[in-house]
Amino acid sequence: MNIRVADIGTNSVGRIDFADVSISLGSGGDAFEAVSGLDVAIAPGELVCILGPSGCGKSTLLGALAGHLPITAGRLTVDGQQVQSPSPDRGMVFQQHTLFPWKRVRDNVAFGPKMRGLGRRERDRAADAILKLVGLSGFEAFYPAQLSGGMQQRVEIARVLINQPRVLLMDEPFSALDAQTRGMMQGVLLDIWSKIPTTTVFVTHDIDEALFLADRIVVMSARPGRVIEDVVLPFARPRSHDLVTEPEFVRLKRHVMQLLRRPEGSEPLARLSPLGVTS
């Protein structure tokens, strides 16, 4: 796809720092620690997957990064500024789309620029450019109900990216899709990211998805969520789904599975590097 990225805009910022971050949820006797002592740094333009068992605090971390949940200890910053409230600089894509059913695709995508006072012609041009990027040229006048699930998620991604966020947050955005559509959307996301390399934090419970998409995988323990290992992936880009049959992919998948199955408090596993196992 050819596109004038200048019609959309890009940011070269988006550094994220979790410094000894803990997050508690609930109140009184029902309070519990969801995330404990998290230390993670994400460089501008990185695509990082957060992987862990259900209830380990993956979505809680995204909620805090989006500014919807307060942290209870530590420091959470984007480009050195503490995250304290929601901002269009941190765009969120959820498992289920949040499109306005009464608005056409173009108007859904252009909603953010409209709220910022951008003129009709300029915002429609930007919306059409981002819709072309996500492969939805020709669907500008459709309503969300007329689209497939994968197409709805493409519109959702477009609606976030048109706001030129510093950070893209994705909370299992493809988990409700069938396997074939899910694989296609993973390719779509990487194609978009190659053209607009926004810092992306992608939550998933799918090991194959994390290995295929990410530069790094932050593997978390069961609640309270802690970092078990930050796995750096050696796979070159661009990627195709043939990657899943390569020996290195299989080896890393086995290692991540062992990390997730390791009982709490047991001895740490040998760490993997591109050169093999290290102590």
Architecture of domain 9-89+166-278: 3-Layer(aba) Sandwich (3.40)
List of the chain residues with pLDDT < 70:
1-12, 262-279
For the record, the structure tokens of 72 come out as 């209870």
Q: What is the pTM of this model?
A: 0.88
pLDDT of residue 254: 96
Q: What is the dihedral of CA 48, 51, 55, 60, to 10 degrees?
A: 0
pLDDT of residue 95: 86
**Closest to 8 measured CA to CA, from 154, 109, 92, 141:** 109
Provide φ and ψ at 78, rounded to 5°.
-120, 120
pLDDT of residue 10: 52
Q: Show me where the domains of the chain are located.
A: 9-89+166-278, 97-164
> Residues 51, 207: contact at Cβ < 8 Å?
yes
pLDDT of residue 264: 57
pLDDT of residue 270: 40
